[in-house]
Amino acid sequence: MIKNKKIEGSMIGASLALVMCTASALEVKGELVVDHVSAYTPAASVSSSLEEKLSDELHTKTATLEAADAIHYYSFSAVRGQKVLLGDSVQHDGPVFFEIEYLEGGEWKKKIESSKVFSGLEPGVEIKIRVSHKKDQPYSQRPYTFVFGSSPVLKEYHLKDQYRMKRIPSGYTQPSFLPVQGSIEAQLEASFTDSVGSPLKGAIGWFNMDLAESRMRPVVVWVVSDAAGQVSKTVSFERCYGGRETADIEIFYGPGTWRSYYYVGSYRLENAYPDRLPQTVEQEGDRVFGHVCGHRKVRR
């Protein structure tokens, strides 16, 4: 899991188990059903319940428990037999006042670790969970948040040069080749799938660019994959000044002799919710980035 990192923004689901009720009010908003019940089994002592079946993606769910005895139910179907993730959200901050349980073997079991991955599933198997307030803590009106859905895999990512960048040619820098170069921005592209290789919507990545040599703070960007499992994001940073000086470059930027000025940085993209072990693309470590400060003609 990502260490000491928080995400901005937020993005709730499942199925009501063994509840016999007389509805005093029923409101339908899209897929969300709010049912205020007056009779129910002792196993689900609730003042209200939310029922939502989640779509085929990775969901970051946020909602508020209406009362101390409220219970929210969610379900997710592993339509391809893919791994299913139930985990803490990187956006959660502060003490945890709620608890999450999952239905297994006809019994509700508490999620104890920060994440649980359900694997070895048959296609179409449905995972059911519920969220309730901790009994040993005073009622909180703060929203809870968690992630639930297909377990994400970061397949690949690339950082591309700033558009129309005047690149420093190979052989004039240390290291001799700066594969990605930019002065104020670069383009990040990435691809996420589920565990069986299908494109995954809702996967979250954490991008970090280290510009310490440029005497700048790290650039941190959170990204979310679209319905095709793709990420495309312009990463912006400040222009640098000074920098390492290249050897003379002849007739590359135009007639005459030139010198370029640059700093060497690094970058990486991490899957915010890896399936325990680092994934292949993340084992490569940091990648080299050339922060180009400018070019100067030294002789005509």
Residue 278, domain CATH:
2.60.40.10
What per-residue confidence (pLDDT) applies to 176? Answer: 95
C-beta separation of 155 from 193 below 8 A: yes
pLDDT digits (tens, 9 = 90+) for 72-85: 999 999 999 999 99
293 and 176 part of one domain:
yes
What per-residue confidence (pLDDT) applies to 17? Answer: 34
Per-chain mean pLDDT for the chain: 84
Least confident of 8-22, 135-149, 180-194, 264-278: 8-22
pLDDT digits (tens, 9 = 90+) for 82-98: 999 999 998 777 788 99
- Residue 68 CB partners (closer than 8 Å, separation 6+): 133, 139
208 and 139 part of one domain:
no
CATH number at residue 45: 2.60.120.380
160 and 142 part of one domain:
no
pLDDT digits (tens, 9 = 90+) for 50-60: 578 999 999 99
Question: Which of 150, 169, 197 delimits the end of a domain?
Answer: 150
Residue 270 counted as domain residue: yes
Alpha-carbon dihedral sign for residues 21, 22, 24, 26:
positive
27 and 118 part of one domain:
yes
pLDDT digits (tens, 9 = 90+) for 254-281: 888 999 999 999 999 999 998 865 556 7
Question: Which of 87, 121, 150 delimits the end of a domain?
Answer: 150
Question: Which of 117, 150, 183 delimits the end of a domain?
Answer: 150
Range(s) of the domain holding residue 32: 23-150
pTM over 0.75: yes
What per-residue confidence (pLDDT) applies to 151? Answer: 97
145 and 250 part of one domain:
no
pLDDT digits (tens, 9 = 90+) for 109-129: 999 999 999 999 999 999 999
Residue 122 counted as domain residue: yes
231 and 99 part of one domain:
no
Instruction: Give the pLDDT mean for 227-256.
Output: 94
pLDDT digits (tens, 9 = 90+) for 154-193: 999 999 999 999 999 999 999 999 999 999 999 999 999 9
